[in-house]
Amino acid sequence: MSKALDGVRILDFTHVQSGPTCTQLLAWFGADVIKVERAGAGDITREQLRDIPDVDSLYFTMLNHNKRSVTIDTKNPEGKQVLEALIQKCDVLVENFAPGALDRMGFTWERIQELNPRMIVASVKGFGPGPYEDCKVYENVAQCAGGAASTTGFDDGPPVVTGAQIGDSGTGLHLALGIVTALFQRTQTGRGQRVLAAMQDGVLNLCRVKLRDQQRLERNGTMKEYPQYPNGTFGEAVPRAGNASGGGQPGWILKCKGWETDPNAYIYFITQAPVWAKICNVIGKEEWATHPDYATPAARLPHLKDIFAEIERWTMTKTKFEAMQILNKYDIPCGPILSMKEIAEEPSLRKTGTIVEVDHPTRGKYLTVGNPIKLSDSPTEVKRSPLLGEHTDEVMAELGYSPEQISALRTAGAI
């Protein structure tokens, strides 16, 4: 079966996490992704957090599936020529170097346009234009500067970063959308363009509801669904809301049977208004369905702590999975806190290709997260990440270099 991005060639100049997540997605949709790395070293993540000596790390392998790897020294004059040939042959150049690095290599936007006016140049940077535009940025910096950390955690504790890589993988996703949109526009204009996804912007986009709350707070001085209401105090900025739900239906994380020894024996419980009577029945508080202090969402707001304490008395008598089964029968929205171990072993995720086992020549079998976006006409087949420079000769031959020329370039240290 053909793939959605068949025929699209990506010159992948990305490294670490943000850029590689983007180009991995494009590869899963069928693009030919040619990853350019430095000979002898490669993407720094190949050797970071290694669990097996001298073998590409899981950090690298899980972010670089379905790509080809070529080694080019882009600071070597002959290496530069190879890169120029690639720019002329590809549709998109994706990079997430520190600000200015591509220009310092000699590949300014103007130069790239001279070489290939149809080229789309897509970049992840930490910040957009402004006071921090020259800064190098990693995941947690973006989480802090994008508003996630100040709004995550509990009221009486420090800001907290989340395990979800919203700065890196989140921005990679934003960039991928920018790229396919630019490719679509190119079908009309015939021209390439620059695509920028700044990590601060990407995180803020994902924290949009918190900017909503900032304005609600400034107007009314309080927010009734926050745990600070009614007894705590609100300051000038959106406070950390613990596990409160970000939407209009109050929710909280509650203990389940076994919580004393299992750190993940918890369930997320949402007291959705339309199923309030059913919740009262399930937890044995039938009288709350009609009691004036509990019958309506507005009446319940000042009592949320007591309500969740009462529901927790019930959830603590059940495992998270037993509670799920019972609550789902009544359409009460809830979710088990799943550990990574439980997710890795979940058969339904294996069946849909969301968790995939991949075989690798030096590492052996490992688990990875497959494509979370499923296209019915462009199914994803997850293929192992390339070894460093595995496809250099193949790609050079496609560019028209003879075996003798390739060997001379290798001797000169250009590839």
Binding site for ligand COA (CB under 6 A): 16-19, 36-38, 72-75, 96-98, 101, 104-105, 124-126, 136-138, 168
| Structure tokens belonging to residue 277 | 């009577």
**CA-closest candidate to residue 37, choices 12, 65, 63:** 12
CA distances from 32 to 159, 186, 227, 280, 360 (A): 41, 18, 49, 55, 20
- Output the DSSP codes for 158-201: -----SS-TTTHHHHHHHHHHHHHHHHHHHHH----EEEEEHHH
Angle, CA 14 vertex, CA 10 and CA 20 arms, to 5°:
85
C-alpha to C-alpha distance for 107 and 47, rounded to whole angstroms? 27
CB of 130 to ligand COA, least distance (A): 15
Which of 36, 182 has the CB closer to ligand COA? 36
Which of 128, 230 has the CB closer to ligand COA? 128
Would you say 104 is a known binding-site residue?
yes
Would you say 136 is a known binding-site residue?
yes
CB of 43 to ligand COA, least distance (A): 9
Which of 57, 74 has the CB closer to ligand COA? 74
State the catalytic residue, choosing from 168, 213, 293, 331: 168
Query: Tokens 């995550």 — which residue?
Result: 152
Query: Tokens 């439980």 — which residue?
Result: 342
AA identity, residue 314: W
Would you say 226 is a known binding-site residue?
no
Q: What is the DSSP letter of 97?
A: P
CB of 139 to ligand COA, least distance (A): 6
Would you say 221 is a known binding-site residue?
no
Would you say 98 is a known binding-site residue?
yes
Coil, strand, or helix at residue 232?
coil
CA distances from 377 to 30, 407, 415 (A): 11, 41, 37
- Residue whose Cβ sits closest to ligand COA: 98
CB of 198 to ligand COA, least distance (A): 9
Does the annotation mark 168 as catalytic? yes
CB of 3 to ligand COA, least distance (A): 26
Would you say 137 is a known binding-site residue?
yes
User: CA 22, 27, 31, 35 torsion: positive or negative?
Assistant: positive
C-alpha to C-alpha distance for 23 and 65, rounded to whole angstroms? 9
Would you say 38 is a known binding-site residue?
yes
C-alpha to C-alpha distance for 26 and 179, rounded to whole angstroms? 9
Which of 134, 359 has the CB closer to ligand COA? 134
Which of 100, 247 has the CB closer to ligand COA? 100
CB of 18 to ligand COA, least distance (A): 4
Which residues carry a binding-site annotation for substrate?
247-249
Q: Which residues are annotated as a binding site?
A: 17-18, 38, 96-98, 104, 136-139, 247-249
User: Would you name the residues annotated as active-site residues?
Assistant: 168
- Return binding residues for CoA: 17-18, 38, 96-98, 104, 136-139
